[in-house]
Copies of this chain bind each other. A is one copy, B any other.
Amino acid sequence: MSERWYRQSGKDGDVVISTRIRLARNLPVYPFPAGMTVEQRREVCQKVRTALQAGEGKWEYLEMQNMLERDALAMVERHLISPDFAACTEGSGLLLAEDESLSLMVCEEDHLRLQAMGAGLQPDELYQKLDAIDTALDEVLHFAFDERLGYLTQCPTNLGTGMRASVMLHLPALQERGMVQQLANTVSKLGLTIRGMYGEGSRSEGALYQLSNQVTLGISEQAAIDNLKGIVAQIVKEERAAREEAAKSPVFADRVFRSLGVLQNARLLSHEESMKLLSYLRVGISAGLIDTITLDTINGLMYDVQPAAVMTAARVDMDAAARDAARAAMVRETLR
């Protein structure tokens, strides 16, 4: 398998970690998953799997009920599945393609949640990929669609395009200036939302923020993507300006290099501390202070330090203290 998408960096990679787009689709005839019997769920899984595997690309099918808890949680950390889906038992399936950059949850909130992820800013590219898959699937599955409302979804907030496009932003300088809340207020007026790394209500560790469109009704996919791109461009500009200002202080380089020193030497690292230190290091690399480590490496580490990822890599469940030791060993090895 080629290096997974999240171990790479892309366009505007100093600020934009990744882009993610998902489409919500449903089959006619069946009720929404919340109202389905296990039998019906299995039928839908089978239909979707058959339709998808008949088309282009190689898709792997995983039944959620067969998955170890830590592996499922690690998939939540990699944004492949939702926390609710990780807890699913019978009649929930996950289809994965390429380097995990394409995925499809069957029988989550909607019958299909088709998703594309990629490094850096690339909403157009990802949407084109999804659109092609969506079109091919539609020919077989005939998605529930209303001329007036668009694609029908269980939750009304997804009606219309059924599309959610989001970017993961690294905003350490704006966060340090306390400007993220103000930014959140501004973007909400423009039909977008900013949240912590794991979505609504989550804390932002490592100054990572998820910006996504909220409006799906009465707007085309392209218009929603263009809107997102315009706002991202503005935030990227502001974050870069704030970083340039911050880099003038001698404290800046000190913090970057201390972070490197601790990450390269610590024997115990909590998730929270490692995210904080990786965030500082990331800014230092972007600013050109460190050229022996790439943004790709840091982006990968930001996934690898997460609790379930640490356990999945070791193939064993651990308590917090054991995870801290395993995490530190992994980070040390990676940054050696």
Contact = CB atoms under 8 A, between A and B. Distances in A.
Nearest to A289: B267
Contact of A254 (B257, B260, B261, B266): B266
A334 to B, nearest CB: 15
A318 to B, nearest CB: 13
A204 to B, nearest CB: 24
Contacts of A51: none
Contacts of A268: 250-251, 254
A325 interface: yes
Contact of A258 (B253, B257, B266): B266
A250 B261 CA distance: 19
Interface in A303-336: 321, 325, 328
A265 to B, nearest CB: 3
A264 B262 CA distance: 10
A253 B267 CA distance: 7
Interface residues of A, number: 18
Interface of A: 250-251, 253-254, 257-258, 260-268, 321, 325, 328
A260 B265 contact: yes
Contact of A262 (B261, B267, B321, B325): B261
B265 A257 contact: yes
Contacts of A328: 254
A28 B55 CA distance: 109
Contacts of A261: 258, 260-266
A321 B253 CA distance: 14
Contacts of A253: 267
A257 B325 CA distance: 13
A325 B250 contact: yes
A321 B250 contact: yes
Nearest to A332: B257
Nearest to A255: B267
Contacts of A266: 254, 257-258, 261
12 contacts: A250-B267, A250-B268, A250-B321, A250-B325, A254-B268, A254-B328, A257-B266, A258-B265, A258-B266, A260-B261, A262-B262, A264-B265
